[in-house]
Chain A
Amino acid sequence: MRILIIEDDLEAAGAMAHGLKEAGYEVLHAPDGEAGLSEAQKGGFDVLVVDRMMPKMDGVTVVETLRREGDQTPVLFLSALGEVNDRVVGLRAGADDYLVKPYAFPELMARVEALSRRRETGAVATTLKVGELEMNLINRTVHRQGREIDLQPREFQLLEFMMRHAGQSVTRTMLLEKVWEYHFDPQTNVIDVHISRLRSKIDKGFDRPMLQTVRGAGYRLDP
């Protein structure tokens, strides 16, 4: 997996590169928009991490240029804290996901991971299968070891997202964004309660738990 970081803050980029390398990614860093664009145009990256404010060329222009040229490499857009409009601007430019600085590293990791694997599940599937867990997307049923599990609609959506990102860490913010489709910061851990309800349904009575809590990051569904 190759990641291109286009970011002018060298220290932030260094920390990010270090963390991503530790996680087994191959990382390249471009210190400004122009260098980043020409590097990205060479191709071969699985994910681009693009900062919004940069010298020479800003992140929005970089992403817009790539998309215009037909480059569909997933882009994670970064921007400074508190710019309420930046998310909309970034997504409109063609970014696939968005993260506000300063971010927790597990949050960045989880999003990069989700983006890097996205293309592997490009085909439209009617069933999802993770280990013993099987999900039928047509008649909306879930079975584990052949036993049917009764889920509420939201629990179904939650599990579907976890199954599509099986083996990856998924943060609470990601779940709120992708399952509930809200972008805000819940003060208490409302998501945890939903996860534990889901966990009690898919793991209770089975020999081995599948839905894991990842300390400091969120959750992961293991096969």
Chain B
Amino acid sequence: MRLPRLLRTTPFRLTLLFLALFAAAASAFLGYIYVATAGEVNRRAQAEISREFESLETAYRQGGVDALNQAIVERATGERPFLYFLADKSGKRISGSIEESPVANFTGDGPTWASFKVTETDMDGAEVKAAAKGVQQRLEHGEILFVGADVDASEAYVRKIVRALWGAGALVILLGLAGGVLISRNVSRSMQGLVDVVNAVRAGDLHARAKIRGARDEYDELAEGLNDMLDRIERLMGGLRHAGDAIAHDLRSPLTRLRARMEVALIDAENGKGDPLAALETALADADGVLKTFNAVLAIARLQAAGAAPDQKSFDASELASDMAELYELSCEDKGLDFKAEIVPALTIKGNREFLAQALANILDNAIKYTPEGGAIMLRARRTSSGELEFSVTDTGPGVPEADRARVVQRFVRLENSRSEPGAGLGLSLVQAVAASHGGRLELAEGPGEYNGMGPGLRVALVLPRVE
């Protein structure tokens, strides 16, 4: 099962292609080695035989057949490694170290080469056949001369080289194939993990994640990218699902209330009693509340989906803080709260002015809503020592217990003691979304502690990264 599948993989096909190219290069290289070694051995043997032939021919030219005969007899008994055969015009043997010429059917006059076997006695006395080679030619006056040599040693050498070359070729192909299979399997296994994840996600399992092997290669990089992407998708989908559930949950009661009011108003109007106008006005106010909730949820969802707030520009954050202070100061006074603002001038920031204004307004709204009469609220805008821009609102209300701080930021979460206050519980969620869409964060901490018999208060800070 594994192999046919492997054959289909891209890396394996690439391996085969490279193997073919490599084999072509290797055979050219090995071919050259063959010509340069085996060919050379053959050529050298032939050259030596030719030289011997020529030296005998010289003797023949100077002293005729007798001198040649004598030279052959001398040489054949000597230590020379050559084989000789001399015959007269009719082909009858005159002398030589072999009984007959290995050249069969000698017809022409020119040099004729022949390969043959000679029977020799080796050092142990056993008879062995050895490869030999020789040339035969008709001499000036018609005699036939053959000179040969035992080339068994060089032939064996050539054979060895050829064997080595075949071996090398086979090795190249085998190693290439094995390497290809190995690489393909490795790559396929790496890819398979990613393919499995994609298939799982396609089948609906958003929790599937690719395994990071820790090799820090491009597959790990791809896997990490894939995982990040899935994390984000899952978070967004989770957020949307949660928002959907929350909207359904939170809008059900005002919508039910709205419907009931209208129904009662209708009955009253039919019976000619009650004030249908007042009922309609309350219904309208209910509908406005529902719309506000929708607006806030959508703003949060859009910010989260976009990742970064749209339309970011550089502007004076101190001015923004002063405007908000001015806008909310009267509300504080109205409720009997002591309001103070400490705003460092000329703080520049890059961001979406409207969203940041909305975020600050939400924080101030909350502070005013939850701080009892006689309390105090302080708005600060400053640059921290690390260069971050910090807007903070500190109140002297009951505060939020540490265990609940992470929770109150979530959508629609309202603590028990705040249920009586108006609002949908989206204020801090929106602040959080605005902070995140500017690369910043929302921090909740304890306020100044005991104050006028209340406390410990809450400090809400919107911290934005330093602008480079």
Contact = CB atoms under 8 A, between A and B. Distances in A.
Interface of A (DSSP majority class): loop
Q: How large is the interface on A (under 10, 10 to 19, 20 to 34, 35 or more residues)?
A: 20 to 34
Interface stretch (B139-147, B328-336, B448-456): B328-336
B244 to A, nearest CB: 14
Interface stretch (B52-60, B252-260, B354-362, B373-381): B354-362
Max chain B C-beta neighbours (<10 A), residue from A185, A187, A188, A194: A187
B311 A186 contact: no
Nearest to A182: B357
B159 interface: no
B357 A184 contact: yes
A184 B311 CA distance: 15
B291 A102 contact: yes
Max chain A C-beta neighbours (<10 A), residue from B285, B292, B323, B361: B361
Max chain B C-beta neighbours (<10 A), residue from A82, A197, A216: A82
Contacts of A184: 354-355, 357-358, 361
Interface string B282-294: 0011001001101
Contacts of A216: 281, 284-285
Contact of B302 (A84, A88, A185, A186): A84
Interface in B270-319: 281, 284-285, 288, 291-292, 294-296, 298-299, 301-303, 306, 310-311
A84 B437 CA distance: 13
A190 B298 contact: no
Contacts, number: 69
A187 B288 contact: no
A183 B357 CA distance: 9
A154 B327 CA distance: 9
Max chain B C-beta neighbours (<10 A), residue from A180, A182, A184: A184
A82 B299 contact: yes
Interface string B315-351: 0000000010011101100100000000000000000
Contact of B310 (A84, A102, A154, A190): A84
A66 B86 CA distance: 119
A190 B299 contact: no
B368 A81 contact: no
A193 interface: yes
B427 interface: yes
Nearest to A102: B291
A82 B355 CA distance: 13
B369 interface: yes
Nearest to B329: A193
A81 B310 contact: no
A182 B361 CA distance: 11
Nearest to A107: B288
Contacts of A215: 281
Contact of B361 (A82, A84, A88, A186): A186
A154 B326 CA distance: 9
Interface string A83-104: 1110010000000000010101
Contact of A190 (B285, B291, B301, B328): B328
A197 B327 CA distance: 12
Contacts of A81: 294-295, 298
A199 to B, nearest CB: 12
B352 to A, nearest CB: 8
B311 A82 contact: no
Contact of A186 (B288, B330, B365): B365
Nearest to A80: B298
A182 B354 contact: yes
A188 B298 contact: no
Given A84-B299, A84-B310, A187-B427, A182 B323 contact: yes
Contacts of A183: 354
Nearest 4 interchain pairs by C-beta = A82-B298, A184-B358, A193-B330, A187-B365
Given A81-B295, A84-B310, A184-B355, 5 more contacts: A84-B306, A84-B355, A154-B326, A186-B361, A187-B365
Interface of A: 81-85, 88, 100, 102, 104, 154, 180, 182-188, 190, 193-194, 197, 215-216
16 contacts: A81-B298, A82-B302, A84-B302, A84-B311, A84-B355, A85-B311, A180-B323, A184-B358, A185-B358, A186-B327, A187-B292, A187-B427, A190-B328, A190-B331, A197-B330, A216-B281
